[in-house]
Each structure stands twice: as structure tokens, then as C-alpha cells.
A and B are shown apart, each in its own frame.
Chain A
Amino acid sequence: MFKPSGSFSLWRKSRPILPIIEITVLVFSLVAPWALSSTPELITLGTNVLILSLLAISFDLCWGYSGIMSFGQALFFGVAGYVVALIGRDLGFSYGWGALPLAMAVGGLLAFMFAAFLLLGRRAPTVIFVSLGTLTGAYAAERLVSGWQYVGAGNGMSSVKLLQFGDIEMVEGIGFYNLALLLLLAAYILSRLIVRSQFGLVLAGMRQNEERLAFFGYRIQVFKALIFSFAGMLSGLAGALFAFHQGFIGPGNMGPGLSTTAVLYALFGGSGTLIGPVIGVFLIETISYFLADQDAIKQYWPVILGSLLLGVVAFRPTGILGLVVTARERIGSFGRRQ
């Protein structure tokens, strides 16, 4: 008699699914701009998806891999966006070789400052302490820039100077899409190398039992601070790309709203996988885009998103990828291979 469940489970045991999904997403991302070249608005949507994927991956590194519930990723995103907008406006500088590393440095440094306060204490902090600390930071920053005329107050900063590489100005379109894809790919590969390294093994252990690892002699707070700062760098890079691409950065791009959306991207797609958050961004942003024209649904979309988050947390904490990727594959093997 045919037993599909048995065959399926054997197949799932022997074949890794994640690399197949990763390659599929990569091929799709490479082909998309050529297939959509006649519809510039979809290229813009695709570029947004790539940029927000960086933000979602930065959250995944914190929560999915390190157990740090950060509601501050948008803060690093927004501050870096404001910084590149300011140096463009006040110094007339928007060269990619300087502006993008500067944005990463700003995001990383700011994240490290938060880590020093929230994570680097003598005792490991609780999830609640860190999540409230980062949430408060994002909220305070949003309120601060909302009332600060120098950075445009509540209107934000529009007409951000275009990103430049030499004499080439990067405007919306396939060129910017390819740049965002290239940077996302580089960030993804680097993140993957980190989470699959011996350092990643410490993160995997830390996520399961922090106390045990402290008794091995690991200063887990340092590991957390490092990964949090690296995630802050990725958020900073995303914020700069966003500001250059949209030509705008505002208070709403650094507050709890965007931070929570980053949480939703990762949890919906599948946290602890890196590729899950990318899929989460693609699905949520694509659906949002097409619903934007549907007046009957548009106003209820935030409610639907909120319900989705609740549903995922309650019933599918491993996200969409959890349907096809086993916990064993998600966590991975760091030493011997079977």
C-alpha cells in the first residue's frame, strides 16, 4: 500500500529544502526585472522588497538566531536614512562609496550603544527588558525627529540627493534594483556564513539555554552585542538605500510601526532561516501593493496585518517556511554531517 506520509518524511529527512528555496528566490529575483521591464512601478516595488528584506534579515539575526527581541531595527534604519539625507543636503555628498559605508557605521554604532546599555550587563537581560528598551528607543527617536525642524520635523526630508557612483546617478529603475539585489546578496551570504560558523553554533546554543553556555565559559552578552551591532549595520544600509530610492525619509521610517512590520516580515516568512524573512517581505509588500488600489479593503489592511501577526505567533511560530522546512534543517548541523 502507498504511504505518502512515510515517503514524504523520508524524502524530507534526506533532502535539504532550504538551498532549493534560496536558489529559487535568487533566480526569481534575477529574472524579475527583465520580465517586468515594461512596468516601472513593479520594478520600484521589487526594489522596495529587496531593501526591506535587508531590514527583515537584520531582525531575523536578532530574534531568529540570537533570541534578542528587538523593536529597534527601524531606529537604526531611520537614523542612517536621515544621516545620508543630511549629508546630501548640507554637504552635497551622496557617493555610494562613502554614503553606504557611513550608513552601515551609523547603524552599527547606534546598535552597539543600545547593546552596551541593554545587553552588556553582568547578568543576561530578559527578553522583556530588551524588547521594551528597543521599543522605547524607537518611539523616542520618532517623537524627537517629529518635532525637530532641522530634519524636516513631521514632514520628514524629501528630495534626498540621488545616490551616485562616479558620474552615474542612481534613479529608480533596473539599475537601482540590481544594486539593491547585489547588496542584499552580499549581506545574505555574509549573514549565512556567520550563522553557520562556530560563532553561529554559540548563537544556536544560546537561543536554547543561555545559562548553560555561561557555564561553558562563554560571555553570552558579548555574542549578543556583536550580532545586534551587525544587524544594526544591515538596518543602516537598508535605511540609506530606502532614503536614496524613495528620495524621502520621515519619522514614520524610524518608529515602532516599521519595527513591528519588520517583526511581522520575519515571523510570517519563517524566522531563523534568513530566506524566510525575504519571502515574508515579498508576500506582505506585494499584497499591500495590490490592495492599495482596492478601496474596499485598503482601510482594513492594517487590521488584517495585525491579525496575521497574532495568527502566526499563536498557530505557526515557525512561519510559512515551517510548513516545508524541518526544525532540524532550520537549526542545522555545525560539526559532522550525517
Chain B
Amino acid sequence: MSDMLVVSQLTKRYGTLQALDGVDLVVKQNSFHGLIGPNGSGKSTFLKAIAGAHFPTSGTIRFNDTDITDASPYERARMGLSLKFQITAVLNELSVFDNVLLAVQAPNSLWSLLLSKTRSRFKDQVMHSLERFQLAERADELAGVLSHGEQQWLEIAMALALRPKLLLLDEPTAGMSPEERRITGDLLRPIKRECSILIVEHDLDFIREISDEITLLDQGKVLDTGTVEEIQRSSKAQQAYTTRV
């Protein structure tokens, strides 16, 4: 498998706080890469730097052999990076259908959007996305009335509707019940055929089940990287979680 995302010596500093300190990470094509670490280890900061929510202090980010370190979120999204936010960012005042339509129609030209050329053509695609995440029945309801778990699924459906090459998931099961977590895992597994995933998650059981490779962050630094089995045996991982959870 070739390398899709190559991050080298990524550093992010907020004043005196060193949030990321020389992070190296590689995500291969069609693989699920888990990012774990104790609270405050820099996982979400790292994911946001990849998505372009903020720019790193130093280091480089290459995506499909293109340097995207200084690219805007808009440019990164157009290249095939898609982010699911940690705190759900569904558009509460729009219907569930319209939330996904917004994602699906994003590559359209301004002219096409003005003339609403693709509104009817995208209907099946949007409904397919919603069916996949068990939200088809609620297509006409406002996104704001969905339960927390359903909003998380809607976020993932929106992020996937962009047909990304790399999907960045920031704590997709946060606040979910055990049953919802299980369903989320079932929903995510088939995605491997479509794109790679870089996933930040606190639930270690969930991330063990779904990931091919795992990187362990602590205090902004990479402590260890390897397969699930290697990380499970890693003394560094055990130490990090027993001393700072």
C-alpha cells in the first residue's frame, strides 16, 4: 500500500504551550489509522492541523505527494480531505436531507448551484447516504432534533458524502451508548473500500477493532506506532495510560 498522508516533524505551539512536538505519521491508502493518547496529548490538535483548521508552527504535511502545509481548509477539502468534527457541527436549522445535500453538491460550480441543476439528480445519492447511516426515515426532520448519536452519524454521512480520499474522524463515538458504538463500528468498516481513515478515539476497544495501525501520542510527541498487536504489547502505551488518563 502506498503512502497517502505523510506528516513530518509537525510542531504546534500556543504561546508557551507545546501542543505538538515533532510529530511524524504516515497513513497508507485504504487503511484505518487510529490515533490514541491520554487527554491533552494533542490528538485533536493534530487532526485539525491536517484538516487546515489551524496552521502548524513548523513541519510539513504531504497529501498524495502534494505539500498541503499552507493550504486552506477549502483547498484541502477539494483535494479529498474530509473532517468530522469532535463536537457535532451539523446545521441544526436545516433538514437532515439538506445537510447531506450541502456536502454532496460541494464540488458543483457556482453557476450550477445558482440554476439548481443538480438538485433532483442528487436526491438518490443523498438518500443512499442517509440509508447507509439509518437516517433515511428522518430525512425531512431538522438536524437539530436528532439524538446525539444520530447527529454523530449524520456528521459522518456528511463527511463521507464528499467522497474523500482521506476521512478524518475526531471521536466519532463520543457520547454514544455501547449499542450506538457497536453500530458505528459496523457502519465504518465497509468504508475501507472507499477511502482511508485517520481516527482519533478515546474508546480503546473501539479503535482496536477498527484500526489497521495505531499511533500513540503523549504530550504532543509520538510514543509509539505499529499494528494493533504491537501497540497492545507496547510498554510505552501501558505506561502512558496508567500514568496519565
Contact = CB atoms under 8 A, between A and B. Distances in A.
A336 B116 contact: no
Interface in B95-111: 95, 97-98, 101-103, 105-108, 110
A211 B107 CA distance: 17
A197 B101 CA distance: 12
Contact of B89 (A194, A209, A217): A209
A202 interface: yes
Given A197-B114, A199-B113, A216-B77, A333 B92 contact: no
Given A216-B162, A331-B94, 7 more contacts: A198-B108, A205-B91, A208-B93, A211-B89, A212-B91, A217-B162, A333-B95
A191 B100 CA distance: 24
A3 interface: no
Given A194-B114, A212-B89, A336-B139, A201 B98 contact: yes
Name, among A205, A214, A217, A336, the residue most crowded by chain B CB atoms within 10 Å (CB to CB).
Answer: A217
Contacts of A226: 110
A38 B233 CA distance: 94
Given A198-B105, A201-B105, A222-B110, A333 B140 contact: yes
A119 interface: no
A298 interface: no
Nearest to A330: B93
Interface in A179-232: 194, 197-199, 201-202, 204-205, 208-209, 211-220, 222-223, 226
Contacts of A331: 93-94
Main secondary structure of the interface of A (DSSP, over half): helix
A9 interface: no
Contacts of B91: 204-205, 208-209, 212
A166 interface: no
B142 A328 contact: yes
Contacts of B139: 336
Interface string B43-61: 0000000011100000000
Contacts of B114: 194, 197-199
Given A198-B105, A201-B98, A201-B102, A214 B118 contact: no
- Interchain residue pairs A-B with the least CB separation, the first 10: A217-B77, A199-B113, A198-B113, A216-B106, A214-B73, A197-B116, A335-B97, A217-B106, A338-B140, A212-B89
A295 B166 CA distance: 70
Nearest to B89: A212
B11 interface: no
A197 B113 contact: yes
Contacts of B126: 335
Contacts of A208: 91-94
A204 B94 contact: yes
Given A197-B116, A208-B91, A215 B51 contact: yes
20 contacts: A198-B101, A198-B116, A198-B118, A199-B116, A201-B105, A201-B113, A205-B94, A212-B85, A212-B89, A214-B72, A215-B73, A216-B158, A217-B106, A217-B107, A334-B94, A334-B119, A335-B97, A335-B126, A336-B97, A336-B139
Nearest to A217: B77
B98 A217 contact: no
A314 interface: no
A335 B107 contact: no
B98 A333 contact: yes
Contacts, number: 107
A23 interface: no
B98 A334 contact: yes
A218 B106 contact: yes
Interface of A: 122, 194, 197-199, 201-202, 204-205, 208-209, 211-220, 222-223, 226, 327-328, 331, 333-338
A336 B95 contact: yes
A335 B119 contact: yes
B200 to A, nearest CB: 16
Contacts of B107: 217
Contacts of B82: 215
Interface string B139-153: 110100000000000
B78 A217 contact: yes
B236 interface: no
B193 to A, nearest CB: 22
A336 B140 contact: yes
A218 B115 CA distance: 17
A234 B107 CA distance: 29
A209 B52 CA distance: 16
Nearest to B91: A208
Nearest to A226: B110
Contacts of A212: 85, 89, 91
Contacts of B53: 211, 215
Of the candidates B116, B123, B139, B158, the one having the most CB atoms from chain A within 10 angstroms of its own CB is B116
A220 B139 CA distance: 25
Contacts of A216: 77, 102-103, 106, 158, 162
Contacts of A338: 140
B83 interface: yes
